[in-house]
Amino acid sequence: MLFDDYASQYPYAEDGRIPVGGDRRLLDPVAGLGFLAAVTKRIRLGTAICLVPQRNPVYTAKEIASLDYLSGGRIDFGVGIGWLKEEFYALQVPFARRADPTREYLEVISRLWCDAEAEFTGEFYQLPACRQNPKPV
């Protein structure tokens, strides 16, 4: 989502404004990468920044694993915690503590990818013992 007016300062521009807005579009990274995986064969594909605390970790793990499988192992998963308070407010995610759920969500994702049976109990997320389908049907 994009906002025309926001108080947060974009940390990578002198004027504090992200150089995207108005009528410009930002695609969802998973949808965009799915399209690119289908029309390319050799280039590496990746998320510049997937805002982990704004996404469900189980679905994120499944989406990225599916993209990696469908692309033949060409996916790089770049993550971030976000900078725009207004975006977190709109998503009803606490901005001030965004690093804490990010750590937990990354642990959940890692366990789903690496463990035969994944399980996690934390402050922000509880994952009952489960398995992620290792191969698409």
Pairing of strands 126-130, 118-121: antiparallel
Pairing of strands 45-51, 75-80: parallel
Query: What does the domain layout of the chain look like in residue ranges?
Result: 29-130
* pLDDT category of residue 21 using cuts at 50, 70 and 90: low
* pLDDT category of residue 22 using cuts at 50, 70 and 90: low
pLDDT of residue 69: 93
pTM of the model: 0.87
pLDDT-above-70 percentage for the chain: 94
